[in-house]
Chain A
Amino acid sequence: MKLLLLMLLLPLSAVAQPSGMRTCAGCHGAQGEGNATNGTPRIAGQPQAYLERQLAAYADGRRSSEVMTPIARQLTPEQRIALSAHYSNLQARAGKPPRAAAGSARGRTLAVRGDQALQVQGCQNCHGPGGTGIGNVVPYLAGLDRRYLEAALGEWQSGSRKTDPSQQMNQIARNLGGDDIKALAAYYASQPQPQAAKVKSKESK
Chain B
Amino acid sequence: MATRLKETDVVMLGVGLVGSIIGRELTKSGLEVVGLERGEPRYTVPDFQAPAMHDELRYSIRKSLMMDAAKETYTFRNSVNETALPMRRIQGFLPGTGLGGSAVHWNGQTYRFHDADFRMRTLATERYGKDFLGPEYTFQDWGVSYADLEPYYDRFEYLLGVSGKAGNLQGKKIAGGNVLEEARSREYPTRPMKEPYGSALFRKAAEGLGHHPFTQPSSNLSEPYTNPEGMTLNTCMFCGFCERYGCEHFAKASPQTVVLPVLLKDPKFKLRTQCQVQRINLDSSGRNATGVTYIDSQGREFEQPARLVVVGLFALNNVRMLLLSKIGTPYDPASGKGVVGRNYSYQTTSGVNVFFDQNTNINPFMRSGASGTLIADFVSDNFDHAKLGFLGGAYIGEVMSHGRPIEFHPTPPGTPSWGSQWKKAVVRHYNHTAVVSTHGSSISTRYNYLDLDPTYKDAWGQPLMRMTFDFPENDIKLSAFVTERAAEIANAMGGKQIAASPRKRPYTSTQYQSTHNTGGTIMGVDRSTSVLNRYCQSWDVPNVFVIGASCYPQNASYNPTGTVGALAYWAADAIVSKYIRSPGPLMS
Chain A interface residues toward B at CB < 8 A: 113-116, 119-122, 124-126, 129, 166-168, 171
Contacts and interface: CB of A to CB of B under 8 A. Distances in A.
Given A120-B45, A168-B237, A125 B224 contact: no
Interface string B250-280: 1000000000000000000000000000000
B249 interface: yes
Nearest to B221: A166
A122 B248 contact: yes
A122 B51 CA distance: 10
B449 to A, nearest CB: 43
B44 A116 contact: yes
B237 A126 contact: yes
B44 A121 contact: yes
Given A166-B223, A168-B237, A171-B224, 20 more contacts: A114-B46, A114-B49, A116-B43, A116-B44, A119-B250, A120-B45, A121-B44, A122-B45, A122-B50, A124-B50, A125-B49, A125-B249, A126-B237, A166-B234, A166-B236, A166-B237, A167-B224, A167-B235, A168-B249, A171-B234
Q: What DSSP secondary structure best describes chain B's contact surface? A: loop
B232 interface: yes
Nearest to A110: B45
Nearest to B238: A166
Contacts of A114: 44-46, 49
The listed residue with most A CB atoms (<10 A of its CB), out of B45, B49, B248, is B45
Interface in B172-230: 223-224
A143 B250 CA distance: 28
A121 B45 contact: yes
Interface size class of B (residues with CB under 8 A): 10 to 19
Contact of B45 (A115, A126, A129, A171): A115
Nearest to A118: B45
B49 A122 contact: yes
A196 to B, nearest CB: 21
Contacts of B235: 166-168
Contact of A124 (B51, B224, B236): B51
A-B residue pairs, 5 tightest by C-beta: A166-B235, A114-B45, A116-B45, A125-B50, A125-B248
A116 B234 contact: no
27 contacts: A114-B44, A114-B46, A116-B43, A116-B44, A116-B45, A119-B44, A119-B250, A121-B44, A121-B45, A121-B250, A122-B49, A122-B248, A124-B51, A125-B50, A125-B51, A125-B248, A125-B249, A129-B51, A166-B223, A166-B236, A167-B223, A167-B234, A168-B234, A168-B237, A168-B249, A171-B232, A171-B234
B232 A113 contact: no
Q: From DSSP, what is the main secondary structure of chain A's interface residues? A: mixed
Nearest to A128: B51
A133 to B, nearest CB: 14
Contacts of A120: 45
Nearest to B48: A121
Contact of A119 (B46, B223, B232, B237): B232
A167 B223 CA distance: 8
A189 to B, nearest CB: 22
B237 A116 contact: no
Given A126-B237, A168-B234, A171-B224, A121 B43 contact: no
Nearest to A115: B45
A125 B223 CA distance: 18
Nearest to A164: B235
Nearest to B256: A116
A150 to B, nearest CB: 22
A129 B236 CA distance: 20
B105 to A, nearest CB: 17
Contacts of B43: 116
A106 to B, nearest CB: 14
A114 B234 CA distance: 14
A81 to B, nearest CB: 21
Nearest to A175: B232
A168 B237 CA distance: 9
A113 B250 contact: no
Interface in B430-444: none
Contacts of A122: 45, 49-50, 248
A150 B236 CA distance: 25
A121 B237 CA distance: 12
Nearest to A114: B45
Contacts of A168: 234-235, 237, 249
B287 to A, nearest CB: 44
Nearest to B54: A125
A113 B49 contact: yes
B426 to A, nearest CB: 19
A170 B167 CA distance: 31
A79 to B, nearest CB: 28
A192 B43 CA distance: 31
A124 B50 CA distance: 7
B335 to A, nearest CB: 53
B248 to A, nearest CB: 5
Contacts of B237: 126, 166, 168
Contacts of B45: 113-116, 120-122
A119 B224 CA distance: 13
Contacts of A125: 49-51, 248-249
B263 to A, nearest CB: 15
A86 B224 CA distance: 35
A171 B224 CA distance: 8
Contacts of B224: 167, 171
Contacts of A113: 45-46, 49
Interface string B33-71: 000000000011110011100000000000000000000
A129 B54 CA distance: 13
A119 B49 CA distance: 12
Nearest to B257: A119
Contacts of B236: 166
A83 B232 CA distance: 39
Contact of B49 (A121, A166, A167): A121
B544 to A, nearest CB: 34
B248 A121 contact: yes
**Most chain B Cβ neighbours within 10 Å, of A119, A121, A124, A125:** A121
A43 B232 CA distance: 34
A120 B232 CA distance: 11
Interface string B237-253: 10000000000111000
A77 B550 CA distance: 59
A116 B46 contact: yes
Nearest to B236: A166
A171 B223 CA distance: 11
A134 to B, nearest CB: 10
A126 B248 CA distance: 10
Contacts of B234: 166-168, 171
A166 B190 CA distance: 13
A102 to B, nearest CB: 24
B261 to A, nearest CB: 8
Contacts of A171: 224, 232, 234
A184 B512 CA distance: 43
Contacts of B223: 166-167
